[in-house]
Amino acid sequence: MKKIMLLFLGLLLGLVAWKLWDTTVLLNKQVVSKFEGARWELPARIYARPLDLYVGRPLQVDHLEQELKLLGYRVAADGQLDRAGTYRINGNRVIIHCRSFTFSDGKQEAMLIDLVFAENQIVALEDHNNAQSLPFFKLEPLHIASIYPGDNEDRLLLHIKETPELLIKTLLLVEDKSFYHHWGVRPLAILRALMANLKAGKTVQGGSTLTQQLVKNFFLTNKRSLQRKAKEAIMALLLEYHYSKDDILEAYLNEIYMGQDGKRAIHGFAMAARFYFGRKIDELSAQQIALLVGLSKGASYYNPRKHPQRAKARRDRILHDMADEGLLTAATAEYLQKKPLGVLERVPSGITRYPAFIGLVRQQLKRDYKDTELSSKGLTVFTTFDPVVQEAAETALSSVLSSLEKERKMSPETLQGAVVVSSVDQGEVLAVVGDRFSRQAGFNRALAMQRPLGSVIKPVVYLAALAHPEQYNLLTLLEDTPLTVPIPGTRPWAPKNYDKKFHGRIPLMQALVHSYNVATVRLGLALGLDQTLDTLQHLGISKEIPAYPSLLLGAIELPPIDVLQMYQAIAAGGYKSTLRAILAVTNQQNQLLQRYPLTVEQAMPTEAVFCLNRALREVTRSGTAASLQRRLPHGMSVAGKTGTTDDLRDSWFAGFSGSHVAVAWVGRDDNHSTGLTGASGALRVWAKTMAALTMTPLDDQPPENVDLYRAILEAGTLVDNSCPRGELLPFIRGGVLPPLSFCDAPPPQQRQGQQRRHRATSGFEKALQEGLNQLLRIFQ
* Helix residue ranges per DSSP H, 296-378: 308-325, 330-337, 355-365, 371-376
Q: For residues 212 and 235, give the distance between their C-alpha atoms in angstroms, rounded to a whole number.
A: 8
Beta-bridge mates of residue 708: 730
| CB proximity list for 387: less than 8 A, separation 6 or greater | 48, 66, 67, 70, 142, 144
Look at residue 755 in the predicted model and tell me its pLDDT. Answer: 36
Q: Which burial class, exposed, middle or buried, applies to 491 when counting CB atoms under 10 A from its CB (0-12, 13-18, 19+)? A: exposed
Q: Using CA of residue 737, residue 743, residue 745, residue 747, what is the dihedral sign?
A: positive
Region of residue 558 (phi > 0: left; psi between -120 and 50: alpha; otherwise: beta):
beta
Q: For residues 169 and 147, give the distance between their C-alpha atoms in angstroms, rounded to a whole number.
A: 33
Q: For residues 718 and 95, give the distance between their C-alpha atoms in angstroms, rounded to a whole number.
A: 56
* Average model confidence (pLDDT) across the chain: 89
Q: Give, in order, the Cα–Cα distances in Å from 578 to each of 133, 539, 574, 601.
A: 36, 10, 12, 9
Look at residue 756 in the predicted model and tell me its pLDDT. Answer: 37
Q: For residues 512 and 507, give the distance between their C-alpha atoms in angstroms, rounded to a whole number.
A: 9
Catalytic residues: 175, 455
Q: For residues 678 and 680, give the distance between their C-alpha atoms in angstroms, rounded to a whole number.
A: 6
Q: For residues 1 and 68, give the distance between their C-alpha atoms in angstroms, rounded to a whole number.
A: 86
Q: For residues 286 and 309, give the distance between their C-alpha atoms in angstroms, rounded to a whole number.
A: 19
Q: For residues 68 and 112, give the distance between their C-alpha atoms in angstroms, rounded to a whole number.
A: 14
Beta-bridge mates of residue 266: 154, 259
Phi, psi of 581 (to 5 degrees): -115, -5
pLDDT digits (tens, 9 = 90+) for 64-120: 999 999 999 999 877 789 889 999 999 999 999 999 999 999 999 999 999 999 999
pTM for this one?
A: 0.87
User: By the 8 A CB rule, do 97 and 87 touch?
Assistant: yes
Beta-bridge mates of residue 418: 665
For the chain, state the CA radius of gyration.
35
| CB proximity list for 345: less than 8 A, separation 6 or greater | none
Give me the residues of the chain with pLDDT under 50, please.
12, 15-16, 202-204, 750-762, 776, 778-780
> Residue by residue, what is the 3-state secondary structure of 438-492?
CCCCCCCHHHHCCEECHHHHHHHHHHHHHCCCCCCCCCCEEEECCCCECCCCCCC
Name the strand (E) or helix (H) holding 768. helix 764-779
Q: For residues 134 and 122, give the distance between their C-alpha atoms in angstroms, rounded to a whole number.
A: 12
Pairing type for strands 380-383 and 651-656 reads unpaired
In this structure, the number of other CB atoms found within 10 A of the CB of residue 76 comes to: 18
Domains of the chain: 50-143 (3.30.2060.10), 153-337 (1.10.3810.10)
Q: For residues 622 and 509, give the distance between their C-alpha atoms in angstroms, rounded to a whole number.
A: 12
Q: Give, in order, the Cα–Cα distances in Å from 158 to each of 164, 254, 267, 559, 685.
A: 10, 6, 11, 42, 44
User: By the 8 A CB rule, do 357 and 385 touch?
Assistant: yes
Q: Which of 658, 635, 643 is nearest to 571 (CA)?
A: 658
Q: For residues 321 and 171, give the distance between their C-alpha atoms in angstroms, rounded to a whole number.
A: 11
Q: Which of 614, 608, 604 is nearest to 698 (CA)?
A: 614
User: By the 8 A CB rule, do 52 and 42 touch?
Assistant: no
Cα 220-222-225 angle, rounded to 5 deg: 90
Name the strand (E) or helix (H) holding 12. helix 2-36
Q: Give, in order, the Cα–Cα distances in Å from 761 to each of 506, 716, 729.
A: 11, 11, 19
Name the strand (E) or helix (H) holding 710. strand 706-712
User: By the 8 A CB rule, do 549 and 517 touch?
Assistant: no
Q: For residues 414 and 578, give the distance between their C-alpha atoms in angstroms, rounded to a whole number.
A: 34
Cα 105-47-568 angle, rounded to 5 deg: 90
